[in-house]
Structure 1
Amino acid sequence: MKLTIILASYDSGHYHGGMGQGPDALIAGGLVDALTMAGHDVTVEDIGRVGDAQEREIATGFAVCNAVSGEVRIAIDRGRFPIVLAGNCLTSAGAVAGEGADAIIWADQHGDLNTPETSTYGFLDGMALATVLGLCWRPMAGAIPGFKPIDPSRCVLVNARDLDPAEEKLVETQPIIRTECAGVAQATAKLKAAGAERVHMHLDLDVHDPEELQANRYVTPGGPEPEQLRDAACAIALAVPIVGITVSAYDPAFDAKADVPPLVGQLLNDLIATIEGR
């Protein structure tokens, strides 16, 4: 398959800081080689620095989305499948926009469903999925080229286990499909029934059980082992049409043995093989 890997190396507005180091670390860890050895035609595009020099979290976060949307659209127009490597989860809003996605799989230990009205910490990335679903930051999201909010009934939240009370309430009142890895068959059946035709897959690497794989500083007990996540992601990709993937939130400072890059390579190779053979 022809693949374009798009690097968005930002964390909370900071270029190459914290989790913004993750995209380069995944490439340095052999991701391109792993995909190429599997027979794929891989190109890498880097959005580089965006926005102004002040690196303001909100303005820069949405500038990253704008740039990613453009790169994703270029990849698709060239007949290439887009894979975005991002520091922050909000970047998926740009991928969704560029792909024209109408549904989303969100695998993450967090819900990312806070809004400015409910957030205790004011952390923009904690509002990432809420933004994609059109529940907050509407003018900013609406300025991303091609962005259309995804209906909550076409959202599958996988293995989210660290939700704030307001997020729990929102999940109860919105038709979001919540599941563990073991229940993805039923979840994708609901997604198909809701009319999903173009599905974006968002994989925050901290969804994993931190005892098995720690990707960043956020540690909540539970979650799937790498093999369980791979199996679930492939089962989803077999059931519904995946049009793009985002891999986010890898901070190499919390991966002393560099365990994460080869596991991401294996995950993506299995996923792409499933998508290609569907």
Structure 2
Amino acid sequence: MRSVKTFLAAGAVSLLSSAAFAADLGVAPAPYYAPPPAQDFGGWYLRGDIGMTNSFTKLHDNLYDTLPAGTSLQQLGQGFSGGTLWGIGAGYQFNSWLRADITGEYRSRVSFSGSDYSIYPNGGGALSDVYSGGYTSWVGLVNVYADLGTWWCLTPFIGAGIGGAHIQTSGLQDSGFTSYGAQSSYFASGASTTNFAWAAHAGVAYKVTNNFTVELAYRYLDMGTAVHGQGIFYDGTPTGVSTFQFRDITSQDLKIGVRWTCCDLPPPPPPIIRKG
């Protein structure tokens, strides 16, 4: 038992003498690095978008509601040409799955064309109409997105947005032809209106670098109803404010966007804590 105590005492003396010798030589003990602080995943970003638009609507005229009883009316081939959009915005990434942004965009003019065919009762004959017009618009939205996980740098996402749409119609031309060979023409001037707008988003994002992301996205956009201004017949007779409307304009948009995380700073280096 005495030999064990003697051995432990000798070991302790040896360790103390080694530490003292190292201190005499100026040899510092190995540094200890504290674990890095937890990083905030969030960050501000700027974004830009370009895309293609494909609008849908139904031409509405109050005169359709006052046709004689028994009139057969068919609306044929109505629709818009495609257009383009350019948008900018700013947003914030709250965490790995939630972000939000505010966007504004200009949507180029799209042309409207369509026709209808009416058959009147009691031998009243038939009337066909051919329409042409169009509109431009500005749209502003507040959007929220859910990122659904990342695989091979690809992050699918869904989202929704609400805001407003300012729509400016161009003049609408209505050319009519009767079964008796008579012709008539009507013109309505353009007008502007601002409506509530909402959108649904879906797409996939690719993180090129830590601060730069590219998106490919689909968006369904509802912009409300567009109106027209003063109307006039081909003979110069004014008719007051036109009853022609583009009811419930919707658009299916395909967009390419970029996001630049502009304001993130790298985390500070971990502090060095020296022992002894």
TM-score by length of 1: 0.19
Q: Name whichever structure is richer in strand by fraction.
A: 2
Q: Name whichever structure is richer in helix by fraction.
A: 1
Question: Which has the larger Rg?
Answer: 2
TM-score by length of 2: 0.20
